[in-house]
Structure 1
Amino acid sequence: MTSFSTRHQTVQIDGLDVFYREAGDPSKPTVLLLHGFPSSSHMFRNLIPALADEYHLVAPDHIGFGRSAMPSVNQFTYSFDRLTEITEKLIDRLELDRFAIYIHDYGAPIGLRIASSRPERITGIISQSGNAYLEGFTPFWDILFAHAEDRAANEDGVRAYFTLTTTKWQYTHGVPADRLDRIAPEAWLLDQAGLDRRGNDAIQLQLFWDYQFNLDGYPKFQEYFRTHRPPLLVTWGRNDEIFGAAGAEAFRRDLPDGEFHLLDTGHFALETHGEEISGYIRDFLARL
């Protein structure tokens, strides 16, 4: 049963510690799990052992998140291009030749950069609020796009997204009352502890500002979908008010053969529907 246990490891990439969780036999099909804001690989803590009997799972913490290095904004270029470069170097270090990607929130622009640049490596895409279409943006983003236009005038509004109230809201909003007790409170408390680290506010402000450039990549991502037809599984909270359900439905334009599950939950669907999602993933990966 040793291979079913999650292993917690750190390697140096470009002189920076990159932490990742790993489980399963590396000779079996690999799934690369890419987390979003303000989380870490911790969001996959239950999914990893649920799949590790048949699959090889790798879940890194992005730089500035979780247990990976958190250099200051003066020491590291916090952009989604740069986070992608670090992830690609980790992929090469671990000799992951072919893999499926699980994309959530910030993990989407990172994973889809990798997929559209090296489509031969990608066996499939699993999207949980992993946006690739303008339709996915909700009013949650209004202050963030205003910040992209004028940082000084809108910084205070963005900082409200770094509070415990907002972090807890990300986990609980849109969740039916009978599923709220499935959300582990340490999940949002751990995320908040990360946000509260000295200097992390500047990092998150920079990444929020840089997010605007992800939209420039959407045409390339969508062309990749149409040209290469990667198998797609969507497991998205229909009540998500960060990346709305319209963003999930938009994938149908370019990948009409995808498998779509809009779940009665919010942004962190794994917290409330982990058992259902792991079942969908098993069925999906078995067909690849």
Structure 2
Amino acid sequence: MKISYHQQIVGDVEVFYREAGPKDGQVILLLHGFPSSSHMFRDLIPKLAEQYRVIAPDLPGFGHTITPPRSQFNFTFNSLFQVIEGFTEALGLKQYVLYVFDYGAPVGYRLAVAHPERVQAIISQNGNAYTEGFSDAWGSWETYWHSPTPENREACRNSLTPETIRNFQYLHGADASLVSPDGYSLDIAFMSRPEAEEIQLDLILDYRTNVDIYPYFQAYFRKYQPKLLAVWGKNDPAFLAAGAEAYKRDIPSAEVHLLDTGHFALETHAKEINELIQQFLKKC
């Protein structure tokens, strides 16, 4: 299955995206997380594209998407949502299945709240919408949220180091022999670009707005009862398995599957996740 690579202008942003699958197929919109890009879906896209039209953009501030300088673009989650909303409209995506991971979850859930009629189903892979999903690893970030001093901002910079990306984000809780170095090496390279760290620190501070609107996401779940599959690396050091189970509180029909791996579950379990998605979407 061939994957094609494109750019779509949305305002002042040039969104890079990967696409594969039949043009008339049901759309699956894949939204990546921190500190990655659509590259994280490299093993999943060919599997899903055998049946579905798969579209995976890079969020502003990540991957190959080009944004104005930080002084001219407000790096917030609402800005990320607005760009992705404009992206879906530019591509004429009237309906889609949302696959959300990590940072992709608050972006995707903003999209769902704004356009519930467009969302056919949701797949959340280690993507929080409940505070039960937070581990103690969020301590320095939460301190920064409540007291955004220069000192607390610097304390969060450790989250961006090559060692943290490799060992905490990718390898913790996973079978390291199954984790390709390609993913974390690319993320580390992207993080070394000019302004990249400051952009990420801006987003770390703004992450507090996601927690503030969790009740809106949860109200959407209760009202619309979207078909939802939560598939989770249960050894994730930051997004606890309780965050997956919490979806059942508002969507009793939600399916929850916990996999014996870490945060980047696709690095080790792309085959298993694909099979769960295929089974889930057949019932939607």
Give me the TM-score of the superposition, normalised by structure 1. 0.96
Q: Does 1:181 align with 2:177?
A: yes
Give unmatched runs, 5+ long, in structure 1.
none
Distance apart, 1:155 and its partner CA: 2.0
Extract unaligned runs of 5+ from structure 2. none
Is 1:194 equivalent to 2:190 in the alignment? yes
Give the Cα separation in 2 of the matches to 1:286 and 1:64. Answer: 35
Shift of 1:279: 0.3
2:124–2:230 CA contact under 8 A, matched in 1: yes
Partner of 1:224: 220
Match of 1:41 in 2: 38
Q: Does 1:101 align with 2:101?
A: no
Tell me if the contact between 1:64 and 1:71 (Cα under 8 Å) persists in the aligned partners: no
**1:151-198 superposed Cα distances (whole Å, 9 cap, x missing partner):** 3121222111111100002100011xxx32221101001001111111
Structure 1 position 150, deviation (Å): 2.5
How far 1:99 sits from its partner (Å)? Answer: 0.5
The residue type paired with residue 174 of structure 1 is: G
1:163 to 161, 164, 167: 161
Task: Within 5 Å, give how 1:235-250 maps onto structure 2.
Answer: 235-250=231-246
- Asked whether the equivalents of residues 72 and 203 of structure 1 are also in contact (C-alpha less than 8 Å), the reply is no
8 Å contact 1:109–1:214 — kept in the other structure?
Answer: yes
Distance in 2 between residues matched to 1:181 and 1:205, nearest whole Å: 31
Deviations 1:45-97 (CA, angstroms, capped at 9, x unpaired):
11000111110100000111000014322110101001000001110011111
Distance 1:164 1:126 in 2: 29
- Distance in 2 between residues matched to 1:26 and 1:97, nearest whole Å: 13
Alignment match of 1:122 (pick from 116, 119, 122): 119
Q: Secondary structure at the match of 2:55?
A: strand
1:27 partner SS: coil
How far apart, in 2, do the equivalents of 1:186 and 1:71 lie?
Answer: 27
Cα deviations by residue, 1:9-52 (Å, 9 ceiling, x for unpaired): 01111122110000011211110000000000000011000111
Matches within 5 A, 1:1-288: 4-148=1-145, 149-169=147-167, 170-175=169-174, 179-288=175-284
- Between the two proteins, what is the percent identity of the paired residues? 46
SS of structure 1 residue aligned to 2:25: coil
CA distance in structure 2 between the partners assigned to 1:116 and 1:150 by the alignment: 28
Displacement of 1:270: 0.5
In the aligned structure 1, how far is the partner of 2:259 from the partner of 2:69?
Answer: 38
CA-atom RMSD in angstroms: 0.9
Residues 24 and 54 in structure 1, CA contact (< 8 A), matched pair in contact too:
yes
Q: Counterpart amino acid of 1:183?
A: V
Structure 2 Cα separation of the partners of residues 37 and 111 of structure 1: 14
Instruction: Give the counterpart letter for 1:37 in structure 2.
Output: F
Q: TM-score, normalised by structure 2?
A: 0.97
Matched letter for residue 155 of structure 2: G
